[in-house]
Structure 1
Amino acid sequence: METVRTDAVQSFLKQETLFVDITTADGHRGRGYSYTIGTGGRSVLSMLRDHLIPQLIGLDCRNVEQVWRTLFNSTRATAVGVVTSLALAAIDTAVWDLNCRRTAIPLWRAAGGYQQHIPLYDTEGGWLHLSTDELVDGALESKSKGWKGVKIKVGKPTCHEDSERLHAVRAAVGPGFDIMVDANQSMTSAEAIRRAAAFEATDLSWFEEPLPADDVSGHVRLSNATSIPVAVGESMYSIGHFRQYLESGAAQIVQVDAARIGGITPWLKVAHLAEAFNVSVSPHFLMELHVSLVSAIPNGQFVEHIPQLRSVTTTEIEIVDGHAIAPDVPGLGIDWDTDQIDNLRVA
């Protein structure tokens, strides 16, 4: 990790990034990736090596849906689940990268091509261990850069502590600047409702992961009790799970993560499902990939600025006037540093 990152349930010590390289019989290549936060990387690697990768031999990568479904159908014993989804994502992103390179089209156009500029918000200045003064300084720095908002972690021992920190940030940045909060699934329904009531005066843009992801009814109760939009998605691993949330009115912001949902192919389905419910998409993490996916859809709202690949890439995402710019080069648009990847390889 580039900096200390803490939330209400954990500290982030490292990231494990998994790569899949695909070469076709006619010489085309693609590279995909996935990730875990500190644990489970070798389990995903075993799923790839022992089961999924061998099944790619002989498939036609131009048939994206066929490739994804063939692999998914072979994993019924472990689906739906995080290890399978992360493994599928590494392959699926490689397939998309390969096909975009084959046709010389950037990902954001191949996936839909709606708009190339997406508003950016910052998470790096909002971690739970930071003092109130540090939160204020971070928010003011983000605002000075022209970024559109910041996310503050909540889940302090008392509601008063969270409220004091949020009020200080709002007073510093003034109106018209987005402030989001993230509880990282740390609260009960009753506590989330209580804290949301205390937070409402700070005019929040959303309340992220207030409850465990499997507590759909709790999210419904919270959504009915507050005017703050409820955001979920980073800990959900199937299209059907998102449908359940949207049908029941349990979420007003969708934060689908391309790695955790199983790749670009199912990510786009969730994004279009959200569009059918008139709900915006602001994905979790993976800004280097998500900038292109959010640019592909008409209901994309934000890209989250939280760098995690700078140690293994040669370039960063382009930022202009507080907006992330989707790469206009064929493929995923991520410039991997192969030497650094080799230097940091652990498996």
Structure 2
Amino acid sequence: MNDLAIRDVKIYKASSELKKPISDSTHTLTEISFIVMRIQLENGIIGESYLLSFQYSPNAIIGALKDIVPAVKGHQCFETGIVHQKLENLFEYFGNQGLLRWSQAAVNIAMWDAWAKSQKLPVHKLLGVTKEKVHMYGSGGWISYSIDELIEEVTDYANRGFKAVKIKVGSPKVSTDLERLKKVREAVGDKVDIMMDANQGMDLPSAIKLSNEAKNLNIHWFEEPVNHQNFQAFEILKNQTGVSLAMGEREFDTLALRELISRNALDIWQPDILRIGGVEAWRESAALANSFHLPVLPHYYKDYDVPLLCTIPNGVGAESFDWVNPLIDNPMVIKDGYAKPHDLPGWGFNFIDDRLTEIK
């Protein structure tokens, strides 16, 4: 018997409290939910991963995760590259992007957790450390918030020591976004950076207008101003306004990164570890960004991103939401605007059993 072989795979759901729906320019979220994968090795070690699912396509993503179980059983937990390529070949018929990429990443992250636990090391120490802590920014600022709710959130972040906040833009009127940005600047002062995120919800003329009219507010960057595949619009927006542009969370590969680099139309690369395919794919994209002197500030998954950012030279910061914190046994500590990786083996945290519902 090989002690490090994958014996079993189980899938669970967990949910965090959401008092009322929240909206950005393109989505309304009615639940904050997570799909959790646990792989068990022959020696009993559990490797774990999770993905943020909200209310979207629950049967589709669960089906994609279940489909990979027969393909990964029996593989040793350190065979992450072998399993990735095996799944790449299996997925080719229906497409390597989308839901199948998410499932590929989920098992990859769980395998890294199990492998690092078997070595009694945190993942970042297994990969090699370049820094000890990472700058964090507070995220949210939903369009559905009232002005009072918006100010309450950003001032809470500032009071907790965050040195940067990000809010949503892409309201029906640019004047509404501008007014909200002004209120946030008044609330947090000049010592806190402000970023804005349109979630692809603006057209080019509106994005140009907002970028120009918000210049005196010292906006740090503009994330996903338009559709993520409208590379020409990114280029025009950059050339006409000079605003720093950020994107990457929608990407299942590095095509957009390469295209925008060629157009000199990207300033910040934001890979999503689940969409891009897992640890190796995340780090490969970061290396490509580094070769063109672009910083990496990933999307959402701080409990994975902070450790990985500490293993690359161009890891600049990470996004912080508190949604997963009540569901795990070792929430990440953020102090004075910085976070350090968990120091326990693997990713350094596990979901609390009582908060999980197994999906059969």
TM-score normalised according to structure 1 size:
0.92
User: What's 2:70 paired with?
Assistant: 54
After superposition, the Cα gap between the structure-2 partners of 1:76 and 1:16, relative to the gap in structure 1 and judged at 3 Å, is farther
Change (3 A) 1:22 1:175: same
Mapped pair 1:40 → 2:64: no
Are residue 216 (structure 1) and residue 231 (structure 2) matched? yes
- Shift in Å at residue 327 of structure 1? 0.3
In the alignment, which residue of structure 2 is the partner of 1:7? 24
Contact 2:208–2:237, Cα closer than 8 Å, also in 1: yes
- Report the more deviating stretch, 114-123 or 54-63: 54-63
1:29 aligned residue (35, 41, 46): 46
Please show how residues 206-285 of structure 1 align to structure 2 within 5 Å.
206-285=221-300
The one-character-per-residue Cα deviations of 1:8-53 (angstroms, maximum 9, x if unpaired) are: 1121112442232223345543122223221123212212223x22
Q: Please give the secondary structure, in 2, of the residue aligned with 1:206.
A: strand
Tell me whether 325-334 or 35-44 shows the greater mean CA deviation.
35-44
Question: Does 2:168 match 1:153?
Answer: yes
- 1 CA distance for matches of 2:167 and 2:322? 16
Correspondence for 1:181: 196
Change (3 A) 1:111 1:12: farther
CA distance 1:82–1:308, shift in 2 (3 Å): farther
Distance change (3 Å), C-alpha of 1:102 and 1:183: same
Instruction: Quote the sequence identity (%).
Output: 29
Whether the 8 Å CA contact 2:84–2:104 is kept in 1: the answer is yes
Q: 1:138: Cα distance to partner?
A: 2.7
> Any conservation in 2 of the 1:30–1:98 contact (CA below 8 Å)?
yes
2:82 pairs with 1:63:
no
> For the Cα contact (< 8 Å) 1:17–1:41, is it kept in 2?
no
Higher mean alpha-carbon deviation, 293-302 vs 207-216, is at 293-302
What stretches of structure 2 of length at least 5 have no aligned partner?
A: 1-15
Pairing 1:321–2:339 present: no
Are the aligned partners of 1:60 and 1:67 in contact in 2 as well (CA < 8 Å)? no
Going from structure 1 to structure 2, the CA distance change for 1:173 and 1:340 (only over 3 Å counts) comes to closer
SS in 2 for 1:259: helix
Cα RMSD over matched residues?
1.9
The answer (yes or no) to whether the contact 1:189–1:218 under 8 Å persists in 2 is yes
Whether the 8 Å contact between 1:139 and 1:173 is mirrored in structure 2 is yes
- Change in Cα spacing, 1:102 to 1:247, as seen in structure 2 (3 Å) is farther
Cα distance change on mapping 1:111 and 1:220 into 2, 3 Å: farther
Task: Verify the 8 A CA contact 2:22 2:145 in the aligned structure 1.
Answer: no
- For residues 95-106 of structure 1, the aligned pairs below 5 Å read 95-106=111-122
- SS of 1:78's partner is coil
Which residue of 1 is the match for residue 101 of structure 2?
85
AA in 2 matched with 1:180: M
The answer (yes or no) to whether the contact 1:84–1:262 under 8 Å persists in 2 is: no
Q: Normalising by structure 2, what TM-score?
A: 0.89
Structure 2 CA distance for aligned equivalents of residues 278 and 315 of structure 1: 34
**Which has the higher mean CA deviation after the structures are superposed, 55-64 or 218-227?**
55-64
Aligned length: 343
C-alpha displacement of 1:346: 5.4
Structure 2 counterpart of 1:134: 149
SS of 2:276 mapped into structure 1: coil
Amino acid at match of 1:77: Y
Q: In terms of mean alpha carbon deviation, does 310-319 or 271-280 score higher?
A: 310-319
Report the Cα offset of residue 341 of structure 1.
0.5
Deviation string for 1:118-146 (max 9, x for gaps)?
A: 1111114x111223343333322222221
1 CA distance for matches of 2:58 and 2:339?
29
Q: Which deviates more from structure 2 when the two are superposed, residues 224-233 or residues 24-33?
A: 24-33
Aligned twin of 2:323: 308
- Once residues 48 and 133 of structure 1 are traced to their aligned partners in structure 2, the CA distance between those partners, rounded to angstroms, is 41
Equivalent residue number for residue 192 of structure 1: 207
CA contact (8 A) 2:309 2:315 kept: yes
